[in-house]
Structures are given as structure tokens and as C-alpha cells.
Amino acid sequence: MKCINCGADVRLTDKVCPYCGRVIKENAGYRADMEYYKKDSARTKKKVREILSENIPIVISAIILVVLLIADGVLLYVEENAFYFRESAAQRESEKKYETYSAAIQDYLDAGDYAGFSAFEEYHNIAEWEPPYDDLNVLCDMAKEYSSLVSAVEEVTMFGPDAKWYRPESDIRDCRSAIWYFNFQFEHNLSKIDEDPYKDYIYDMKAKADTIMEVYLGLDEAGRDEYFSSSSNKQEAYLEEVLLHD
Amino acid sequence: MTKKTILRISIIINIILATVFVVSLPGAMGALVFEYVEQDTIRPDTLRKYLERENYGTVAALSRPIRGGAEVSDTDADYYKLGEYAELLFLKEVYAKAGNADSAKACEDRISEIRKEMPEYGSVLDKIELSVENAVKE
């Protein structure tokens, strides 16, 4: 606006003209409004600060609550899935050590120690269903059954002079099942075995299982034929006869 | 509901959640700790029980993890070795019969090694040998 006395440019908030010193009355209403708005703004700010200070503890508490909820959720998820995390980390490690583990596996196979191989595979978390170990898939399956057969025959045959055998009937039943299952798996997977890169080892495994039956259960080739063609009750009766009464 | 009530409720919930967090943390962290080569979990007292019962076949079967390279604590190693001894004797007979002379010889070498390593278990080793001898049906 302009000073009506000297015509100089003055601001709406000037009380006097800075050039001629005249008291400016024309902007008094504007200045009064400005004053009111300033006070009102200060009041509003104060109110906001008061409300904020009242709500800050609730806001902080709500933030902590959300953080704790997320943290508890994460912990729960970790606990639920820890097995899978461990498995997957261990499998990644076994993939990294492929060369070393493959050499160790070959040693077990060359020695015909398929039970040892099965234990190695289990305790080194080798995922035989995934590359790079997937070519071991059939061999591993058969080795697991062979390992069970070896354990079952060991458990019913090796006793010291003062041994206490608490559950002979159930152990003999388990032994019969383990023998039956290994042979069933072998016969059932024969076409797969014949195409497997490790088929020679699997056939050797079968030969060793037969030898175990011959050495420890008195079943030579003819005996095994007769044994496998008989019913499960007769198989159990045979094992009881050999193991309990001989 | 006043702000104070809301604050109180949220503080209570926070305390509960914090307690759940503190209680769950060691379990979750523990569940993530593992060895790449697994440690066998059979308790040595189980092996001891079967040794006392002279069920050497069961000891052999339970100790097999050691032959697969599973890690076993030093205090339990002797029990596992007795099982390894029993299993190798068992398998040696099979390899010999199957004509795997090299494997039978490797078993024999390890058997002698274990015997030398465990002179204090001489009588148990003798009983294990006897158990395999008696188990052979020929």
C-alpha cells in the first residue's frame, strides 16, 4: 500500500510510514486481524502440543506392541521351521562338499559296506533326491532297507553267554519284516535297478543280504527259496525255531 | 474408554508379548544351532543298558552312526566303539563267506585296532566275539 502523505510504499503491517513518519491508520483492521490470528495460532499450537504430549505414551506403547508382535511372530516362525532351515543349510553344505563326500561314498561302496554308506548318507544330510546326488536315489533307498535288515539280524543273533533277551517274539517279527521288505523292494524295483548307474552295487547288496541269511539264519539258496515261498507265519516259525531252539 | 485405560491395557499386552519373546528366544536360537555332520542322539545309557544285557547285536546296530562318520562325544566314544567292534565282527563273517577278501581284511584290521585301543574292555570284547561265533549257523 502507499502512504497517503508521501506516497511511499509501506507494508500492511507498518504502524508508521518509514519515510515520512505519518501514523498509518488505514491498515489498523488488518493489523488487528493479524494479531488475532497470531494469538489463535499460538493457542492452537499449544493445544496440539498438549494433545501430543498426552498421546505420546500411547503411541510409543502401540509402536512397541507392533514391534513385539512382529518379533514374537518371527520367533514362532523360526521355531516352527527350524528343522527345515537346518535341513536346507546342511544340504547346501553337502552340495558344497560334493567332491569329498563322493570320494567317501565310493570308499564305502568299494568296500561293500552298504550299511556304513547308509549311515554316512544319513548323518551327512545328503539329499539323494536332488542334484548333484540324485543318481544315488535308488542306491540310497536300497541301502536303507539293507541297513535295517543288517540291524534286525544282528539284534536277534548276537547275544553274550549271560544275555537277557526281553522281547524275542517281537524282535523276530521285526526281523522277518525287515528281510521281507528288503527283498520286496529289490524285486519291486528290479526294472529301475537294472537301469541304475549303481546297479552292480545293488546286486552286490542283494548277494550280501543273501549271505547274511545263509551265515546267520542257516538259509542257503534252496532254503531261501523255500523260506520266501512260505507264508509269513511259517517264516516267523522258522526264525523262532532257528533262533530260539537251536 | 479413557486414554489412561488404553495405555494401561497396551502396557499389559506389551509385558505379555515381551515375556513370550524372552521365553521363546533361547528355544528359537537353540533350534537353529546345528552341526553339518550330525551328532548321534542315542543316549549312552541306552547303549550301556544293552551292553549289560549282553544284547551285542542291538549295540552294534545302535552304534552304526559312528561308522557313518557321525560325531560322538568323547565320553560316549567307548560305547560306540564296542558296537562298532560287534558290527565289524558280524560283517567280517559275511564278507569272508561272500568272497570279499579285501573287505574282510579291512574289518579284521579295524577289529585289531579297536582291541588295542580298548584293553580295559578285554572281557567284553571276548564276549562279543563269542556272541558272533555262536550266531554263525555253519
ipTM of the complex: 0.81
Q: Provide, as residue numbers in chain B, all residues whose Cβ is less than 8 Å from the Cβ of A165.
A: 53, 55
CA B1 – CA A241 distance, rounded (Å): 82
Q: Which residue of A has its CA nearest to B33?
A: A86
Position B134, amino acid:
N
CA A158 – CA A215 distance, rounded (Å): 12
The answer on pLDDT for B38 being more than 70 is no
Looking at residue A246, its pLDDT comes to: 61
Higher per-residue pLDDT: B35 or A116: A116
Listed by number, the residues of chain A in 38-67 with a beta carbon closer than 8 Å to a beta carbon of chain B are 54-55, 57-58, 61-62, 64-65
Whether a cis peptide bond, with omega within 30° of 0, leads into A132 is yes
The answer on pLDDT for A215 being more than 90 is yes
Instruction: Indicate which of A58, A77, A147, A154 best probes the interface with B, i.e. most B CBs within 10 Å of its own CB.
Output: A154
Question: Would an 8 Å CB–CB cutoff place B24 in contact with chain A?
Answer: yes
Question: Would an 8 Å CB–CB cutoff place B130 in contact with chain A?
Answer: yes
Q: Provide, as residue numbers in chain A, all residues whose Cβ is less than 8 Å from the Cβ of B27.
A: 79
Q: Provide, as residue numbers in chain B, all residues whose Cβ is less than 8 Å from the Cβ of A156.
A: 57
Q: Which residue of A has its CA nearest to B133?
A: A158
The pLDDT tens digits for B60-88 are 999 999 999 888 888 888 999 999 999 99
Q: Which run of H or E residues covers position A53? A: helix A28-96
- 3-state helix vs strand vs coil in chain B, percent to 5: 75, 0, 20
Averaged pLDDT of chain A: 92
Question: Would an 8 Å CB–CB cutoff place B72 in contact with chain A?
Answer: no
Phi and psi torsions of B2, nearest 5°: -75, 165
Residue A188 per-residue DSSP state: H
Transcribe A85-151 into DSSP letters: HHHHHHHHHHHHTHHHHHHHHHHHHHTT-HHHHHHHHHHTT--TTSTTSGGGHHHHHHHHHHHHHHH
Position A171, amino acid:
D
Looking at residue B36, its pLDDT comes to: 63
The answer on pLDDT for B39 being more than 70 is no
Question: Would an 8 Å CB–CB cutoff place B18 in contact with chain A?
Answer: yes
CA distance B23 to chain A (A): 10
Closest of A228, A232, A239 to residue A206, by C-alpha: A228
Residue keyed to cell 568299494: A110
CA A243 – CA A231 distance, rounded (Å): 18
Looking at residue B138, its pLDDT comes to: 64
Whether a cis peptide bond, with omega within 30° of 0, leads into A168 is no
Question: Would an 8 Å CB–CB cutoff place A79 in contact with chain B?
Answer: yes
CA A214 – CA A208 distance, rounded (Å): 10
A/B interface, count of CB pairs below 8 Å:
190
How many Cβ atoms sit within 10 Å of the Cβ of residue B135? 22
How many Cβ atoms sit within 10 Å of the Cβ of residue A2? 11
Looking at residue A193, its pLDDT comes to: 96
Question: Would an 8 Å CB–CB cutoff place A71 in contact with chain B?
Answer: yes
pLDDT grade for A31, boundaries at 50, 70 and 90 = confident
Phi and psi torsions of A99, nearest 5°: -60, -50
Transcribe A141-167 into DSSP letters: HHHHHHHHHHHHHHHHH---TT---S-
The answer on pLDDT for A196 being more than 80 is yes
Looking from the CA of A122 toward its CB, the CA atoms found within 13 Å total 21
* Mean pLDDT, rounded, for A225-235: 96
Question: Would an 8 Å CB–CB cutoff place B38 in contact with chain A?
Answer: yes
Question: Would an 8 Å CB–CB cutoff place A150 in contact with chain B?
Answer: yes
Looking at residue A107, its pLDDT comes to: 95
CA distance A5 to chain B (A): 60
The pLDDT tens digits for A198-208 are 999 999 999 99
* A202 and A142 Cβ atoms separated by less than 8 Å: yes
Residue A3 per-residue DSSP state: -
The answer on pLDDT for B45 being more than 90 is no
With an 8 Å Cβ cutoff, are B137 and A90 in contact? no
* B50 and A105 Cβ atoms separated by less than 8 Å: no
With an 8 Å Cβ cutoff, are A207 and B56 in contact? no
The pLDDT tens digits for A135-145 are 999 999 999 99
Looking at residue A86, its pLDDT comes to: 84
CA A162 – CA A167 distance, rounded (Å): 16
CA A231 – CA A102 distance, rounded (Å): 41
The answer on pLDDT for B42 being more than 70 is no
pLDDT grade for B11, boundaries at 50, 70 and 90 = very high
Position A92, amino acid:
R
Cell of A73: 511372530
Residues facing A23 on adjacent strands: A16
